[in-house]
Protein backbone atom coordinates (compact mmCIF):
# COMPACT_ATOMS: atom_id res chain seq x y z
CA UNK A 1 0.00 0.00 0.00
CA UNK A 2 2.92 2.35 0.67
CA UNK A 3 3.90 2.42 -3.02
CA UNK A 4 0.35 3.39 -3.95
CA UNK A 5 0.40 6.11 -1.30
CA UNK A 6 3.68 7.56 -2.63
CA UNK A 7 2.28 7.60 -6.18
CA UNK A 8 -0.90 9.30 -4.97
CA UNK A 9 1.04 11.93 -3.01
CA UNK A 10 3.32 12.68 -5.95
CA UNK A 11 0.34 13.16 -8.25
CA UNK A 12 -1.45 15.48 -5.84
CA UNK A 13 1.70 17.52 -5.23
CA UNK A 14 2.18 17.91 -8.97
CA UNK A 15 -1.32 19.42 -9.00
CA UNK A 16 -0.25 22.02 -6.43
CA UNK A 17 -1.27 20.48 -3.09
CA UNK A 18 1.25 20.43 -0.23
CA UNK A 19 0.05 17.10 1.27
CA UNK A 20 2.26 17.15 4.39
CA UNK A 21 -0.60 16.29 6.71
CA UNK A 22 -2.07 13.76 4.27
CA UNK A 23 1.31 12.01 4.05
CA UNK A 24 1.52 11.57 7.82
CA UNK A 25 -2.06 10.33 8.05
CA UNK A 26 -1.88 7.90 5.14
CA UNK A 27 1.41 6.38 6.25
CA UNK A 28 -0.01 5.96 9.74
CA UNK A 29 -3.05 4.23 8.24
CA UNK A 30 -0.84 1.97 6.10
CA UNK A 31 1.08 0.86 9.21
CA UNK A 32 -2.20 0.22 11.03
CA UNK A 33 -3.50 -1.85 8.11
CA UNK A 34 -0.21 -3.77 7.82
CA UNK A 35 -0.53 -4.86 11.46
CA UNK A 36 -3.78 -6.52 10.41
CA UNK A 37 -2.07 -8.16 7.44
CA UNK A 38 -3.93 -5.98 4.92
CA UNK A 39 -2.46 -4.50 1.74
CA UNK A 40 -5.66 -2.81 0.51
CA UNK A 41 -8.08 -0.32 2.02
CA UNK A 42 -10.74 -2.07 4.09
CA UNK A 43 -13.72 -0.05 5.28
CA UNK A 44 -13.78 -1.32 8.86
CA UNK A 45 -10.02 -0.94 9.23
CA UNK A 46 -10.23 2.65 8.01
CA UNK A 47 -13.01 3.40 10.49
CA UNK A 48 -11.15 1.73 13.36
CA UNK A 49 -7.98 3.71 12.57
CA UNK A 50 -9.82 7.00 12.18
CA UNK A 51 -11.62 6.40 15.49
CA UNK A 52 -8.28 6.73 17.27
CA UNK A 53 -8.47 10.51 16.72
CA UNK A 54 -9.10 12.40 19.97
CA UNK A 55 -11.99 14.52 18.65
CA UNK A 56 -14.86 14.15 16.19
CA UNK A 57 -13.25 16.70 13.89
CA UNK A 58 -9.94 14.83 13.89
CA UNK A 59 -11.62 11.47 13.38
CA UNK A 60 -13.51 12.93 10.46
CA UNK A 61 -10.33 14.41 8.94
CA UNK A 62 -8.48 11.10 9.29
CA UNK A 63 -11.24 9.13 7.58
CA UNK A 64 -11.66 11.66 4.78
CA UNK A 65 -7.92 11.46 4.02
CA UNK A 66 -8.25 7.70 3.55
CA UNK A 67 -11.43 8.14 1.48
CA UNK A 68 -9.73 10.48 -0.98
CA UNK A 69 -6.84 8.04 -1.34
CA UNK A 70 -9.20 5.08 -1.70
CA UNK A 71 -11.19 6.73 -4.50
CA UNK A 72 -7.94 7.34 -6.34
CA UNK A 73 -6.44 3.85 -6.09
CA UNK A 74 -9.76 2.08 -6.67
CA UNK A 75 -9.73 3.31 -10.27
CA UNK A 76 -6.93 0.84 -11.00
CA UNK A 77 -7.59 -1.75 -8.30
CA UNK A 78 -11.19 -2.50 -7.34
CA UNK A 79 -10.04 -4.55 -4.35
CA UNK A 80 -9.73 -1.31 -2.38
CA UNK A 81 -12.82 -0.45 -0.37
CA UNK A 82 -14.42 2.99 -0.20
CA UNK A 83 -15.26 3.95 3.40
CA UNK A 84 -18.22 6.28 4.02
CA UNK A 85 -16.73 9.78 4.22
CA UNK A 86 -19.34 11.14 6.65
CA UNK A 87 -19.29 8.19 9.03
CA UNK A 88 -18.51 10.32 12.11
CA UNK A 89 -21.09 12.99 11.29
CA UNK A 90 -18.71 15.94 11.78
CA UNK A 91 -19.85 19.34 10.58
CA UNK A 92 -17.40 22.09 9.71
CA UNK A 93 -18.13 25.35 11.46
CA UNK A 94 -16.51 28.72 10.92
CA UNK A 95 -16.46 31.51 13.44
CA UNK A 96 -18.31 34.64 12.29
CA UNK A 97 -15.80 37.27 11.13
CA UNK A 98 -15.70 40.83 12.31
CA UNK A 99 -16.53 43.08 9.36
CA UNK A 100 -14.66 46.33 9.85
CA UNK A 101 -16.35 49.59 9.02
CA UNK A 102 -14.42 52.22 7.03
CA UNK A 103 -14.24 54.29 10.20
CA UNK A 104 -12.73 51.38 12.17
CA UNK A 105 -10.08 50.80 9.49
CA UNK A 106 -9.25 54.50 9.64
CA UNK A 107 -8.80 54.25 13.42
CA UNK A 108 -6.53 51.22 13.02
CA UNK A 109 -4.29 53.09 10.59
CA UNK A 110 -4.19 56.12 12.89
CA UNK A 111 -3.22 53.88 15.82
CA UNK A 112 -0.49 52.29 13.68
CA UNK A 113 0.92 55.72 12.83
CA UNK A 114 1.40 56.33 16.57
CA UNK A 115 3.62 53.27 17.02
CA UNK A 116 7.11 53.84 18.33
CA UNK A 117 9.98 54.21 18.48
CA UNK A 118 9.77 57.80 17.30
CA UNK A 119 11.48 58.47 14.00
CA UNK A 120 11.55 54.79 13.00
CA UNK A 121 9.91 53.23 9.96
CA UNK A 122 7.76 50.94 12.12
CA UNK A 123 4.68 53.14 12.30
CA UNK A 124 4.56 53.71 8.54
CA UNK A 125 5.22 50.01 7.89
CA UNK A 126 2.20 48.89 9.91
CA UNK A 127 -0.04 51.67 8.63
CA UNK A 128 0.82 50.76 5.03
CA UNK A 129 0.39 47.04 5.66
CA UNK A 130 -3.07 47.49 7.21
CA UNK A 131 -4.13 49.83 4.41
CA UNK A 132 -2.91 47.35 1.77
CA UNK A 133 -4.74 44.40 3.36
CA UNK A 134 -7.92 46.47 3.56
CA UNK A 135 -7.70 47.66 -0.04
CA UNK A 136 -6.80 44.33 -1.67
CA UNK A 137 -8.01 41.48 0.56
CA UNK A 138 -4.57 39.85 0.35
CA UNK A 139 -3.78 37.03 2.72
CA UNK A 140 -1.35 38.25 5.38
CA UNK A 141 1.15 35.61 4.24
CA UNK A 142 1.00 37.03 0.71
CA UNK A 143 1.60 40.58 1.87
CA UNK A 144 4.57 39.59 4.04
CA UNK A 145 6.22 37.72 1.14
CA UNK A 146 6.11 40.71 -1.21
CA UNK A 147 9.48 41.88 -2.53
CA UNK A 148 10.44 45.05 -4.36
CA UNK A 149 10.36 43.11 -7.64
CA UNK A 150 6.68 42.27 -7.07
CA UNK A 151 5.72 45.95 -7.37
CA UNK A 152 4.81 46.30 -11.06
CA UNK A 153 3.09 49.01 -13.06
CA UNK A 154 0.13 46.65 -13.52
CA UNK A 155 -0.24 45.75 -9.84
CA UNK A 156 1.17 43.32 -7.29
CA UNK A 157 2.66 40.03 -8.44
CA UNK A 158 1.64 37.41 -5.88
CA UNK A 159 4.01 34.49 -6.38
CA UNK A 160 3.61 30.83 -5.50
CA UNK A 161 1.02 31.43 -2.82
CA UNK A 162 -1.65 29.09 -1.44
CA UNK A 163 -2.14 26.09 -3.77
CA UNK A 164 1.06 27.27 -5.55
CA UNK A 165 -0.89 29.82 -7.55
CA UNK A 166 0.68 32.97 -8.99
CA UNK A 167 -1.58 35.90 -9.84
CA UNK A 168 -1.51 39.60 -10.59
CA UNK A 169 -3.49 41.84 -8.22
CA UNK A 170 -4.34 45.24 -9.77
CA UNK A 171 -4.28 48.18 -7.37
CA UNK A 172 -6.52 51.21 -7.11
CA UNK A 173 -4.60 54.41 -7.86
CA UNK A 174 -4.75 55.48 -4.21
CA UNK A 175 -3.38 52.14 -3.02
CA UNK A 176 -0.57 52.25 -5.58
CA UNK A 177 0.30 55.81 -4.52
CA UNK A 178 0.38 54.81 -0.85
CA UNK A 179 2.76 51.92 -1.55
CA UNK A 180 5.04 54.17 -3.60
CA UNK A 181 5.22 56.70 -0.76
CA UNK A 182 6.14 53.93 1.66
CA UNK A 183 8.81 52.48 -0.66
CA UNK A 184 10.40 55.91 -1.04
CA UNK A 185 10.92 55.86 2.74
CA UNK A 186 11.71 52.16 2.84
CA UNK A 187 14.35 52.41 0.06
CA UNK A 188 14.87 48.70 -0.74
CA UNK A 189 18.43 47.93 -1.80
CA UNK A 190 17.60 45.28 -4.40
CA UNK A 191 14.65 43.65 -6.15
CA UNK A 192 14.87 40.76 -3.68
CA UNK A 193 14.38 42.99 -0.64
CA UNK A 194 11.11 42.40 1.25
CA UNK A 195 8.61 45.24 1.16
CA UNK A 196 7.68 45.03 4.85
CA UNK A 197 10.56 44.76 7.31
CA UNK A 198 11.21 45.00 11.03
CA UNK A 199 13.65 47.29 12.84
CA UNK A 200 16.60 45.09 11.81
CA UNK A 201 15.64 45.15 8.14
CA UNK A 202 14.43 41.54 8.27
CA UNK A 203 11.08 40.41 6.79
CA UNK A 204 8.20 41.00 9.19
CA UNK A 205 7.16 37.79 10.95
CA UNK A 206 3.50 36.83 11.12
CA UNK A 207 3.46 36.37 14.90
CA UNK A 208 4.90 39.85 15.45
CA UNK A 209 2.35 41.36 13.06
CA UNK A 210 -0.51 39.48 14.71
CA UNK A 211 0.46 40.58 18.20
CA UNK A 212 0.95 44.19 17.14
CA UNK A 213 -2.37 44.20 15.28
CA UNK A 214 -4.21 42.85 18.32
CA UNK A 215 -2.78 45.70 20.36
CA UNK A 216 -3.82 48.22 17.73
CA UNK A 217 -7.38 46.85 17.80
CA UNK A 218 -7.56 47.66 21.50
CA UNK A 219 -5.97 51.08 21.09
CA UNK A 220 -8.42 51.89 18.29
CA UNK A 221 -11.33 51.01 20.58
CA UNK A 222 -12.70 48.34 18.23
CA UNK A 223 -15.01 45.92 20.00
CA UNK A 224 -16.43 42.62 18.74
CA UNK A 225 -20.00 42.51 17.52
CA UNK A 226 -22.52 40.24 19.23
CA UNK A 227 -21.98 37.45 16.67
CA UNK A 228 -18.20 37.63 16.25
CA UNK A 229 -15.31 37.11 18.60
CA UNK A 230 -12.36 39.46 18.98
CA UNK A 231 -11.60 41.23 15.67
CA UNK A 232 -8.71 39.50 13.92
CA UNK A 233 -6.11 40.39 11.33
CA UNK A 234 -7.60 37.89 8.86
CA UNK A 235 -10.95 39.66 9.17
CA UNK A 236 -9.55 42.43 6.95
CA UNK A 237 -9.68 39.91 4.11
CA UNK A 238 -13.26 38.98 5.03
CA UNK A 239 -14.17 42.65 5.10
CA UNK A 240 -12.77 43.22 1.62
CA UNK A 241 -14.71 40.24 0.23
CA UNK A 242 -17.98 41.28 1.85
CA UNK A 243 -17.69 44.86 0.60
CA UNK A 244 -16.89 43.59 -2.89
CA UNK A 245 -19.94 41.32 -2.82
CA UNK A 246 -22.14 44.17 -1.65
CA UNK A 247 -21.08 46.15 -4.72
CA UNK A 248 -22.06 43.34 -7.11
CA UNK A 249 -24.14 44.55 -10.08
CA UNK A 250 -27.76 43.45 -10.46
CA UNK A 251 -28.70 40.63 -12.80
CA UNK A 252 -27.83 36.96 -12.56
CA UNK A 253 -25.26 36.89 -15.39
CA UNK A 254 -23.50 40.08 -14.25
CA UNK A 255 -23.51 38.92 -10.63
CA UNK A 256 -22.00 35.57 -11.69
CA UNK A 257 -19.23 37.32 -13.61
CA UNK A 258 -18.58 39.55 -10.58
CA UNK A 259 -18.24 36.49 -8.32
CA UNK A 260 -15.86 34.78 -10.74
CA UNK A 261 -13.70 37.91 -10.98
CA UNK A 262 -13.60 38.24 -7.19
CA UNK A 263 -12.60 34.58 -6.78
CA UNK A 264 -9.71 35.10 -9.21
CA UNK A 265 -8.64 38.37 -7.60
CA UNK A 266 -8.56 36.78 -4.12
CA UNK A 267 -6.71 33.67 -5.30
CA UNK A 268 -9.42 31.16 -4.42
CA UNK A 269 -8.84 27.71 -5.85
CA UNK A 270 -12.55 27.46 -6.68
CA UNK A 271 -15.55 29.76 -6.51
CA UNK A 272 -17.13 27.86 -3.61
CA UNK A 273 -14.62 29.49 -1.26
CA UNK A 274 -15.92 32.86 -2.45
CA UNK A 275 -19.55 31.84 -1.98
CA UNK A 276 -18.90 31.37 1.73
CA UNK A 277 -18.51 35.11 2.15
CA UNK A 278 -22.21 35.45 1.35
CA UNK A 279 -22.82 33.94 4.79
CA UNK A 280 -20.41 36.26 6.57
CA UNK A 281 -22.88 38.97 7.58
CA UNK A 282 -26.57 39.19 8.32
CA UNK A 283 -26.74 42.13 5.92
CA UNK A 284 -25.54 40.01 3.01
CA UNK A 285 -27.91 37.20 3.93
CA UNK A 286 -30.80 39.68 3.96
CA UNK A 287 -29.76 40.85 0.49
CA UNK A 288 -29.70 37.24 -0.75
CA UNK A 289 -33.09 36.52 0.81
CA UNK A 290 -34.60 39.67 -0.69
CA UNK A 291 -33.27 38.79 -4.13
CA UNK A 292 -34.66 35.25 -3.79
CA UNK A 293 -38.06 36.53 -2.72
CA UNK A 294 -38.11 38.97 -5.60
CA UNK A 295 -37.24 36.23 -8.07
CA UNK A 296 -39.92 33.88 -6.72
CA UNK A 297 -42.50 36.68 -6.67
CA UNK A 298 -41.81 37.56 -10.28
CA UNK A 299 -42.04 33.89 -11.17
CA UNK A 300 -45.50 33.55 -9.58
CA UNK A 301 -46.73 36.70 -11.29
CA UNK A 302 -45.57 35.40 -14.63
Residues with catalytic annotation?
A: 139, 162, 234, 237, 268, 277
Q: How far apart are CA 26 and CA 10, in angstroms?
A: 13
Sign of the torsion formed by the C-alpha atoms of 166, 170, 175 and 178 = positive
Whether the CA torsion 238, 243, 246, 247 is positive or negative: it is negative
- Three-state SS at 215: helix
Helix or strand run (H / E) with residue 107 = helix 102-113
Sign of the C-alpha dihedral computed for residues 199, 202, 208 and 210 taken in this order:
positive
> Contact at 8 Å (CB) between 146 and 194?
yes
Long-range contacts of 157-163 (CB under 8 A, 24+ apart): 158/267, 161/267, 162/267, 162/269, 163/16, 163/17, 163/267, 163/269
3-state helix, strand, coil in the chain (%, to 5): 60, 5, 35
Amino acid sequence: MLNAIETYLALRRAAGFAMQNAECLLKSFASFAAERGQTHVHTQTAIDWAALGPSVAQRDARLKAVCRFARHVRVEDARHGTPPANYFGARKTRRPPHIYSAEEIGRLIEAALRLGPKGSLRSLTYATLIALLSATGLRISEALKLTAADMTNDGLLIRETKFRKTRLVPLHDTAAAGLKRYLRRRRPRSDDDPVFVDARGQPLRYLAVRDTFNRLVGEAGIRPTAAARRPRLHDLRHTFAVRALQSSPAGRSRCGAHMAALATYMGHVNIYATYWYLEATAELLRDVAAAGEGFMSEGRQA
